Structure 1
Amino acid sequence: MKNNIKISVIMGVYNPASQERLFRSVQSVIDQSFAEWELLLYDDGSQAPFTSLIQAAAALDPRILLLHGQQNRGLAHALNVCIRSASGSYIARMDDDDVSKPDRFQKQLDFLETHSQYQWVGSLAELVDSHGVWGIESVPETPQGRDFLWNSPYIHPSVLFRAGVLLEHGGYDPSHSVLQCEDYELFMRLHSRGNQGYNLQEPLLQYREGRDSYRKRTYRRRIREMKVRYRGFQDLGILHPGTFFYVMKPLLVGAVPASAHHSIKHWRKKKPQQMPK
């Protein structure tokens, strides 16, 4: 471990949609109360107008290492390159439009260093859009197999892993069959092999989710997710006739218009102080 780095933050970036969001995300790492980190910022073959933006983000702090891909190969490949280049004994995930609370790393590190039975730790998240924080994404404290039926019970960019668990189990699956479902596949695979994670029951991350998030979920992506669910549920021992509805869930949800889906989730997840009396 070089230069006393304890946490390696891994972030894949491709043609970032907003300079402001990218800089806010990187700045939230720089502002952490825990200082022994490095940020591996992987440019996944971005086009020319965006490369200078990513370079500017990497120049914000000397602890940021900029890595380059010659072509766009997807998030799983980007994260695997970062994992192989990481110096820390812990690996934190971040996306280029999410924001970590200043004490996130310290709280998660303290937890893992005192709870050896867990291989990673996540947290709840505040949901944000262009208007600010609009809700809370809750996840179970100690997820079990059945918690994967509806959605992944971990918020991917909120998680701090022990580096060893990712290296031992081969990191992310970069194949096209799990494209845009990389985290769901990873967590089910790790659970099926006897590993366990934990979620701190406080929001340590601001997770961006707006109306456009639903429009990105194409029919092909839903088919891939359905196949990932089938294989993952099988490995977890939770696949049977009574859970087949959950295998089909991506297609069923896809039949709901994006605007309606967004409105329903906005109502379900909105902050308690916004709830009508």
Structure 2
Amino acid sequence: MVSVLMSVHNDAEYLEDAIESILNQTYRDFEFLITDDCSQDGSRSIIRSYARKEERVKAFVNEVNQGLAASLNDMLDEARGRFIARMDADDISRSCRFERQVDCLESNSSVDVVFSNTRIIDKHDNPVCVAWRPDEEEIINWIGRRCYIPHPTVMVRKSSIREVDGYDESYWTGQDHDLWQRMKENGATFRYLSEVLLDYRLNPDSVRAEYDGDYWFKVSNMCIWNKSRLKSLAYISRLTLWQQLQILMKFFVPHFIMHCRGES
């Protein structure tokens, strides 16, 4: 029924937890396709170990780093499931995630893409805050301008993603934003499950990370953006004086202003 796609590049530190969170799903009818995209750490051996002992895991190897979009398209060509589920190698799916999403797609034939809310965790697995998102209608209206759809929470009908020829491989990051826009323009229907079905890690080593040594400043900012202002102060002692002043100033800015400006 479901083909799970995960591309891995130097994620050995978190990889086993990510894989285990998929293998421990209450919904069992899935295959798990994992591509090692030219990792230089121990990721490849971890993937091979799981592929040897778990028949649902299908391992692939890129000898040259292709990037996420190309790796996902290659796995799409191999996928046998009716539904495609995404997963990232540093996140943790809740055990009921697939059960909830398959039920949504099976009971609503008009829905093409289903995604969920997330809880943000830090690099040490500690919870930061539950992510804030607008309601479903606003999320869909913002597609093409701002993305509130967390890529690793998505499950999508394979037929719908094939209609728009999958991911655009010219994107090194933001390939999911582009995909949702093209699917929306093609008439796809999106459904938001507001419950938390995935722990989303703020990983300082991810491709999209923009921390520049200011990891805890980013974490504190994320708390403010996600309406957990008091939690932002928990990291204040780790910040420089200038960063502390910025956090304190943002602490009193109404959330709707930040939302309209798209800033945290």
TM-score bracket relative to the smaller structure = 0.7 to 0.9
Question: Unmatched 5+ residue regions in structure 2?
Answer: 234-264
Match for residue 11 of structure 2 among 16, 26, 29:
16
The CA distance in 2 between the partners of 1:272 and 1:117, in whole Å, is 38
For the pair 1:31 / 2:27, whether they are aligned, the reply is no
Partner of 1:226: none
> What amino acid is aligned across from residue 140 of structure 2 in structure 1?
Q
Partner of 1:166: 161
The CA distance in 2 between the partners of 1:156 and 1:78, in whole Å, is 15
Partner of 1:251: none
Partner of 1:145: 141
- Superposed CA RMSD in Å reads 2.6
Contact 1:214 1:261 in 2 (8 A): no
* Structure 1 residues 168 and 207: alpha-carbon distance in aligned structure 2, compared to 1, 3 A threshold: same
Deviation at 1:209?
A: 1.3
The CA distance in 2 between the partners of 1:74 and 1:92, in whole Å, is 18
Match for residue 70 of structure 1 among 42, 63, 67:
63
Partner of 1:229: none
The CA distance in 2 between the partners of 1:206 and 1:186, in whole Å, is 22
The CA distance in 1 between the partners of 2:142 and 2:84, in whole Å, is 26
* Structure 1 residues 132 and 48: alpha-carbon distance in aligned structure 2, compared to 1, 3 A threshold: closer
For the pair 1:113 / 2:70, whether they are aligned, the reply is no
Q: TM-score, normalised by structure 2?
A: 0.78
* Structure 1 residues 213 and 95: alpha-carbon distance in aligned structure 2, compared to 1, 3 A threshold: closer
Deviation at 1:269?
A: 2.5
Q: TM-score, normalised by structure 1?
A: 0.74
* Structure 1 residues 275 and 11: alpha-carbon distance in aligned structure 2, compared to 1, 3 A threshold: closer
* Structure 1 residues 25 and 67: alpha-carbon distance in aligned structure 2, compared to 1, 3 A threshold: same
Question: Unmatched 5+ residue regions in structure 1?
Answer: 1-5, 219-253
Deviation per CA, 1:46-65, whole angstroms, max 9, x where unpaired?
Answer: 23754223322433521100
Could you list the structure 1 runs, at least 4 aligned residues long, displaced by more than 6 angstroms after superposition: none
> What amino acid is aligned across from residue 184 of structure 2 in structure 1?
H
> What amino acid is aligned across from residue 34 of structure 1 in structure 2?
Y
Deviation at 1:188?
A: 1.2
For the pair 1:125 / 2:118, whether they are aligned, the reply is yes
The CA distance in 1 between the partners of 2:21 and 2:208, in whole Å, is 27
Contact 2:24 2:95 in 1 (8 A): yes
Deviation per CA, 1:253-276, whole angstroms, max 9, x where unpaired?
Answer: x9xx76544322223326699599
Deviation per CA, 1:28-63, whole angstroms, max 9, x where unpaired?
Answer: 111111111000011112237542233224335211
Contact 2:115 2:192 in 1 (8 A): yes
For the pair 1:88 / 2:81, whether they are aligned, the reply is yes
